[in-house]
Chain A
Amino acid sequence: MADSNTFPSDKEDEREQRLIRDLRHMYHTEVEIAQALSRVRSHLETSRTGRSDIRPSTQQRDGLLSTLQAGSGQADGHGTSTRFSQRKAWQQRTGSIAAAVFVTLLVGSLIVVLTRARHNSLGGPSNNSNQFGAISSIHMLDAQTGWATTDKNRILRTTDGGIHWKNVTPNFPTSMIRQSIVADFFTASSAWVAVSGIDITGQGDDRARKQTSSAWVGVSGIDMATTVIFRTTDAGQMWQQATIQTSRGIVTQVNFVTSQDGWLLSKHPVSESAETLELFRTTDGGRTWVKIASALAASLDIPPPGKLPFSGSKSGLSFLNATTGWVTGRIPVNGYILLYRTYDGGTTWYPQSLPLSPTERSSQLSILPPLFFNVTDGVLPVSFDMGKGANLDVYVTHDGGTTWKRTTPLTAAASTADFIDVDHGWASDGTLLYVTGDGGKQWTTLSPGGSFQHIIHLDFVSSDIGWAIGAIAANAPTLLKTEDGGHTWTAIPYTIS
């Protein structure tokens, strides 16, 4: 260790910074503490109100301390049995009072709470919903109805366009510390995240996504061996659950194409260039699951015919129907793609090629699962970096994924994108919004500005109406909405109950 008279090396300094950052993550946040202090303060205020009835009015003006200076003191804190007996009463009042007075209780307490309150006006939760977290992913079915997940792994549902949300989270097993949570909400349109290991996405056949009340949620245990799948068919009022034993992995995707046919992808990164994978299948709506394919630790060579590769990182899977689907990902070798297709529901897999451009053939390519809008039309996002910055090339199919056609690459480090049909799509690098109305042949760049910053998620339901989520590391994510195709965005100060 460096002595006090010498400067730490860059390496030591970096370790120190990382340690401090990690330690901060390990403890409860200032916001949680501030909320607790606000609750205590509310009880003090309540106590003051109650006591003022029996205090001389002239003393009320001087604040609680001086008001009670005339009362009998208990300097050492002992002998407070009367007040201690009131404790239960305060506890009973906690729920109703805290909710009602939360906003006013913020006054004069901690700056961090006020900062948070200001942040709320920018599109965060506007009530005492910190127990639920802030919305970090949204899946709207239409302009009014949709689902969302929060950064505290809550499942929410709205029926008024995202202003009011109801917490419909199933009761996770208390013995299971949540490893990751993924969900499929049968959305009318889907969103995907370009770089994602713990991916929350809704994908699949648009025709099946007419039920606004069905959802599946997958939760992996800390032992990385147990995954619990929750499902609901009544908008989250009731949840049924099933358990899957995996070899060692984290559930990263749940994908349903009908109310009965679904797949679950579990994987475990072994190195930067390889990860194990297990694929489970259900044909009874999630009651029972069977492992149908796997890629366990092996050599990095090309897998045997019909098998998925161990090499590469898998970005996800997507099924067109009960039989045809794709697994996508990235192999860190120029010109190699990780795009495997199945025609038998996921039992056997074979690589599919793409008509790469010369530039793409000399770049490392990352492919995201395709998104289909009907039995024939779909898009397949491919990102690559040719040394001058990231690019997004949206491949399009009109024959159910048999062939894919390149479009015009979008020169942008798009981290999120969404399509409502094969023509209309949006992508964002976090600050700018790129819009296409002709299936990626041309992209228009918009600079919405204002609250449209650090965008990590886009979700459109029509050519005009969409939502976005912005996430600055230190703050809760913000929820934004547009009604003019992305030109202007308004923060939604939503509530969760």
Chain B
Amino acid sequence: MQQQDEHQQPCSPDSALYARYAASIFAYARLHTDSWQDAEDLTLEVFLAALEHENLSWLSDKQQFVWLRRVAHNKLVDNYRHSTRPALIPLEQVVETVYRDEGLTPEGLAIRREELERLYKAVEKLPLLQQQVLQLRYEDGLRFADIAILLDKREEAVRKLYSRTLARLRTIYEQQEGG
């Protein structure tokens, strides 16, 4: 928080709205667009729409978020091509990161590579909704409550889905140890 204090500017309503929800809307945009550029454009359009909305500041926090999400959805329908699957960082880039972070030996690297390859395949085979939950959780770091709004689900349902997804993926490591 100290770092934030050093750079903090006076907080206007629009900047507060942006600071609070831009990441979530951008996450939602990335779920449904083909490129980051499109996702940025969509996010921009959503907040421009917010700027021109007369009564948004009267809404509660959750209502503001729901409103932003609805605008994003409508703009997606109007103007953007939909994405099919969330994009993962290329496997090789991840392998390099793991190699660097974990200080692996070449042998350890080979083992970890196989493990990661299996994890990639497993994630890619997950139903779309589960992939979306993972992306929103791990890429965007969103709370389950926010994920639920973005996916138009109940929070409890998202939590259960997430739990089931992790349990399914965890078996990869069990297989590795068993094999």
Cβ contact within 8 Å between B174 and A30: no
- Interface pair B11/A74, CB less than 8 Å apart: no
Contacts of A41 in B (CB 8 A): 18, 22
B170 contacts A77, C-beta separation under 8 Å? no
Say whether B71 contacts A77, CB under 8 Å.
yes
Do A33 and B26 touch across chains, with their CB atoms under 8 A apart? yes
- Is A36 a contact partner of B17 (Cβ separation < 8 A)? no
Query: Which of B12, B15, B93, B139 lies in contact with A33, CB distance below 8 A?
Result: B139
Task: Select which of B8, B26, B108 is within 8 A of A107 by beta carbon.
Answer: B8
Of chain B, the residue at the smallest CB distance from A179 is: B92
B18 near A44 with CB under 8 A, answer yes
For B72-112 the 0/1 string (1 means CB < 8 A from A) is 11110011000000001111111111111101111111100
- CB 8 Å contact bits of B124-168 with A (1 = contact, 0 = none): 000000000011001111000000000000000000000000110
A39 interfacial by beta-carbon distance below 8 Å: yes
Residues of A within 8 A of B57 (CB): 65-66
Query: Are A151 and B170 also in contact (CB < 8 A) when A37-B22, A195-B105 are?
Result: no
Q: How many A residues touch the partner, as a band?
A: 35 or more
- The reply to whether the CB of B31 lies closer than 8 angstroms to some CB of chain A is no
Total A-B residue contacts, Cβ distance less than 8 Å:
224
- Any A CB within 8 A of the CB of B61: no
Interface residues of B in 1-26 (CB under 8 A from A): 1, 3-4, 6-9, 11-15, 17-19, 22-23, 26
Assess the A222–B92 pair: CB atoms within 8 A.
yes
Q: Are B47 and A44 in contact (CB under 8 A)?
A: yes
Q: Which of A71, A91, A151, A198 counts the most B-chain CB atoms under 10 A from its CB?
A: A198
Residue picked from A19, A20, A27, most chain B C-beta under 10 Å: A27
Q: Chain A's nearest CB lies how many Å from the CB of B151? A: 17
How distant is B112 from chain A, measured CB to nearest CB, in Å?
Answer: 9
Give the CA-CA distance A195 to B27 in the complex, in Å. Answer: 38
| CB pair B40 A197 closer than 8 Å | no
A313, B43: Cα distance in complex, Å: 50
- A65 CA to B115 CA, complexed, in Å: 49
Enumerate chain A residues within 8 angstroms of B71, measured Cβ to Cβ.
Answer: 76-77
Query: What DSSP secondary structure best describes chain B's contact surface?
Result: helix
Asked if A236 is at the interface of the complex by the 8 Å CB criterion, the answer is no
Q: Which listed residue, B12, B89, B115, B177, touches A63 by the CB 8 Å rule? A: B12
A111 touches B3 (CB 8 A): yes
Residue A302 is within 8 A (CB to CB) of chain B in the complex: no
Given contacts A40-B43, A71-B52, A78-B78, contact A65 B12 (CB under 8 A): yes
B66 interface hit (Cβ, 8 Å): no
16 of the cross-chain contacts (CB-CB < 8 Å) are A1-B167, A11-B177, A22-B98, A26-B94, A27-B138, A36-B36, A39-B40, A63-B15, A80-B78, A83-B49, A90-B44, A106-B7, A109-B19, A110-B19, A111-B4, A270-B110
Given A23-B123, A26-B88, A47-B48, 12 extra CB contacts under 8 A: A22-B119, A27-B138, A44-B47, A65-B17, A66-B13, A76-B71, A108-B8, A110-B23, A114-B3, A118-B3, A198-B96, A268-B110
* Chain A interface (Cβ < 8 Å from any Cβ of B): 1, 11-12, 15-16, 18-20, 22-28, 30, 33, 36-37, 39-41, 43-44, 47-48, 62-69, 71-78, 80, 83-84, 87, 90-91, 106-111, 114-115, 117-118, 136, 151, 153, 177-180, 195, 197-198, 222, 267-273, 275, 313, 471, 473
Residues of chain B having any CB pair with chain A under 8 Å: 1, 3-4, 6-9, 11-15, 17-19, 22-23, 26-27, 36-37, 39-41, 43-57, 67, 70-75, 78-79, 88-101, 103-110, 115-116, 119-120, 123, 134-135, 138-141, 166-167, 169-170, 172-174, 177
